[in-house]
A = this chain, B = another copy of it.
Amino acid sequence: MTSVQVRGRAERVLAMLDERGLEQMMVSDRSNIRWLTGFSGSAGVLIVSKRGHQFITDSRYTDQARDQLDSSGATDIGVVTARTLADRNLAISEAASGSPLGAEASIVPQSEWSSLSAHAELVAADGLLGQLRRAKDESEIALIAKAANIASETLSEVAPMLVAGVSEREIRDELEYRMRKLGADGPSYETIVASGPTNAALPHARPTARQFEGGDTVVIDVGALVDGYHSDMTRTFVVGGPSDEQQRWYDLVLASQTAGLQAVSEGVCGSEVDRACRSVFEDAGLVDLFVHGTGHGVGLDIHEEPFLGASASAELMAGDVVTVEPGLYRVGTGGIRIEDLVVVTSDGHRNLTTHPKDTPCPPSPRTI
């Protein structure tokens, strides 16, 4: 698989800057830099400017930067090595050439902003890149799909291990180990394995040493990371099979998730997807147990634009990659959440999550 090609993206930033009356900006956010250059390291700032683009980094990263920019097609971006903080400020100042310089005020620490302000006129310019990064191209979608497939396949391997006596952490360990064996660079985020009447009732629980017991709901929220791109998926199982109430909840969450997916299409407002999910729970009198938003964008960040919630105002666009993940949570009963990752298309969506979701029953343990 060749690298994602980034050529032309910096020009799209320039066009958006132009609408704000700016000729240039300094990009500090790591994912924004990666999207514009292909650079995956942890130090450096990118100057996008009408007068030419420059990536300013330190000597540890010069070779890596040149290699990654070349293989990503960012051959129009120069690489500048700054050995000290003073060198770096000077390089930024020279690139700015006395004109106002947009900067990500929500990323740049106050002390850095303050010291740079002696060298350049900084202007807050947040949010532009988040908008541009929304519509994924085919090579980006291919990486996200690969990550999603790895997570699905791994969960198929691990689901038969969901039996009484096994701990949340043991399942987390197996998932993360096996995702890498299948080609992931690592987990996409801190894997959630949340079980039983208390832990599973917390949407963002962290895996503990708790051992499964018969009748536990087990919420597994797991994704893989491939070349910087994330996947995101949740499946819920009931150890030993569901009670009547758990089956009813499961059917409701699946109906809610199906309704949400059906609502996804280019031009639809994020709040409409949320409404579709929520209305199923309203009809069942359980909407108060759905305590989080319906979904979010996924790409170089695990949480990015657009967000799908009751107050979301953005319309979905073709190429958005978003989660749809309704759930119900109550201490005592536990929790049920079902989450797929989909690409928005002109007439609906394409589901990247292949793991089955028709039943909360884990497959029988296999004889090893």
Contacts from A to B (Cβ < 8 Å): 60, 103, 105-114, 124, 126, 169, 173, 176-177, 180-181, 204
> CB distance B108 to A126 under 8 Å?
no
Q: How far is the CA of A162 from the CA of B173 in the complex (A)?
A: 22
- The quantity of this chain's copies bound in the complex is 2
Pick from B60, B109, B111: contact of A204, CB under 8 Å: B60
Given A103-B110, A177-B177, 10 other A-B residues pairs in contact with their CB atoms under 8 A: A106-B109, A106-B112, A107-B109, A108-B110, A109-B109, A110-B110, A110-B113, A111-B124, A113-B113, A173-B181
Q: How far is the CA of A107 from the CA of B109 in the complex (A)?
A: 6
The 9 A-B pairs with the shortest beta carbon distances in the complex, nearest first, are: A105-B111, A110-B113, A105-B110, A177-B177, A106-B111, A173-B180, A110-B110, A106-B109, A108-B110
CB distance from A72 to the nearest CB of B (A): 17
Find chain B residues with CB under 8 A from A114 CB: 105
CB distance from A80 to the nearest CB of B (A): 20
CB distance from A71 to the nearest CB of B (A): 15
Q: How far is the CA of A173 from the CA of B183 in the complex (A)?
A: 11
> CB distance A169 to B180 under 8 Å?
yes
Find chain B residues with CB under 8 A from A103 CB: 110
CB distance from A301 to the nearest CB of B (A): 15
**CB-CB nearest in chain B for A40:** B206
Find chain B residues with CB under 8 A from A176 CB: 176-177
Instruction: Give me 13 A-to-B residue pairs in the complex whose CB atoms sit less than 8 angstroms apart, sorted by A's number.
Output: A60-B204, A105-B110, A105-B114, A106-B109, A106-B111, A107-B109, A109-B110, A110-B110, A111-B124, A113-B113, A169-B180, A176-B177, A177-B177
